[in-house]
Amino acid sequence: MSDTELPPLFNRHWTEYALALSAIIISAISLWVAVDTEYTNRHLVEEASWPFLAIDYNNLNAEGQPDFSLNITNEGIGPAKIETLQVFWKGKPYRSANALLKACCGYNPRPFGAQSDKSGHPITGLITSTSAGTVLRAGQVRRAIQYAQTLNNPKIWRAVDSQKENFSYRICYCSVFNKCWLSNGHDLNPPRVETCPQPKVGYNN
């Protein structure tokens, strides 16, 4: 090999190296674009499946009659998995509506001398539903507690209605992508949590 003769590796035209380098750069850019697009698409899907639970109460039904109700509404755009719910009166949690209304307002599920329905059960006006462990679709409302005023309970009903400002809530819910929030039912920006903590005293029904 003469002094002026280059090894085969260096004997290629510079354009071949330029093309090879360009191919590597283009591949890297394509990979970055694909990863970024995947992230963006996933983020958009998650945003389109965002749930938002709010808790409020009413003291009149659709006919304008006295009817206290505690409502959980999914105001978001995706389904919400309700993991846990706590209901407090003056900061103390209660496991059931019976216990809650008894503590706050003297509620008696079997008042002496009360009117009964056709099955012989006292007409108390109280209806409850399970919330924890259920799924709310976007726009769906669940009545956790409904307490209508009847001939048997006007005094207790007014006591419940007067105590509504002393009720507070803690609800933990997740999206279908298992992104979870721990909310007081009123916060527009509830904090995110990795998983829903299990309360010592959860509200059942």
Give the mean pLDDT of the chain: 83
Please provide residue 62's backbone torsions phi and psi, each rounded to the nearest 5 degrees.
-60, -25
Question: Could you give the dihedral angle defined by the CA atoms of residues 12, 18, 19 and 23, in that order, rounded to the nearest 10 degrees?
Answer: 130
Using one digit for the tens of pLDDT, what is the confidence trace for 33-80?
656 555 554 554 556 679 999 999 898 888 888 999 999 999 999 999
Closest CA to 154 of 182, 123, 133: 123
Split at pLDDT 50, 70, 90, the class of 120 is very low
Calpha distance 108→153 (Å, rounded): 9
Q: What is the pTM of this model?
A: 0.73
What is the reported pLDDT for 112? 47
What is the reported pLDDT for 114? 52
User: Would you list the domain boundaries of the chain?
Assistant: 8-48, 53-193
Question: Could you give the dihedral angle defined by the CA atoms of residues 15, 20, 25 and 27, in that order, rounded to the nearest 10 degrees?
Answer: 140
